[in-house]
């Protein structure tokens, strides 16, 4: 996350014009909050965003999970908290379907998992990876001095259109 913050700071200071700027660790570094307008148009891949339309019977949807987590802990949930909560739902489901705590029965139940959680769909492939949930892409966008991560892909969840190429520094 330190690298993302350093990169944005240096790109802004030097007014480096690029058609696209893709970063990692945008959430962890709080890129939009730390650098505001200097981070505008940065693209960031993410595992989860609270505005996705996934839902489940326990947490509801991402917006509700975000609200409940924030009320309990005093800060917005990072994706790691969301994926961990979803993992608990997957284990709960597997234990119930296995009707046992026997590790082989639970493993077999996990392998047959095909469910939706507030975090995303869960279905495991032969290698054990979740093959049902795509990553998302957001772009830092600013309205006045308020900057935030806005979903731009996949398009079925996009709240904003992707800005590409990004405006030159002299045009901002």
Q: What is the CATH number of the domain that holds 160?
A: 3.40.50.2300
CA dihedral sign of residues 41, 43, 48, 51: positive
Measured torsion, CA atoms of residues 10, 13, 16, 21, in degrees rounded to the nearest 10: 50
Each residue's pLDDT tens digit, 18-61 = 999 998 877 765 888 888 899 999 999 999 989 899 999 999 99
The one-character DSSP state at 117 is E
Shared domain check, 112 and 59: yes
Residues in the chain, how many? 172
Tell me if 147 is assigned to some domain. Answer: yes
Distance in angstroms (rounded) separating the CA atoms of residues 138 and 143: 15
Each residue's pLDDT tens digit, 69-123 = 999 999 999 999 999 999 999 999 999 999 999 999 999 999 999 999 999 999 9
Shared domain check, 79 and 118: yes
| Cβ atoms of residues 60 and 80 within 8 Å | no
Residue 161 structural domain: 2-47+135-171
């Amino acid at each position: 996350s330190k690298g993302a913050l350093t990169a944005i700071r240096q790109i802004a200071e030097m007014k480096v014009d690029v058609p696209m700027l893709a970063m990692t660790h945008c959430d962890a570094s709080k890129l939009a909050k730390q650098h505001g307008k200097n981070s505008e148009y940065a693209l960031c891949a993410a595992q989860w965003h609270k505005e996705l339309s996934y839902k489940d019977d326990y947490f509801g949807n991402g917006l509700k999970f975000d609200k409940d987590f924030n009320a309990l802990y005093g800060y917005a949930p990072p994706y790691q908290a969301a994926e961990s909560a979803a993992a608990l739902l997957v284990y709960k489901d597997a234990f119930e379907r296995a009707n046992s705590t026997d590790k082989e029965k639970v493993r077999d139940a996990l392998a047959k998992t095909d469910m939706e959680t507030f975090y995303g769909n869960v279905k495991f492939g032969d290698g054990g990876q979740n093959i049902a949930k795509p990553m998302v892409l957001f772009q830092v966008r600013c309205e006045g001095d308020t900057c935030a991560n806005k979903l731009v892909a996949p398009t079925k969840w996009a709240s904003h259109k992707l800005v590409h190429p990004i405006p030159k520094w002299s045009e901002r």
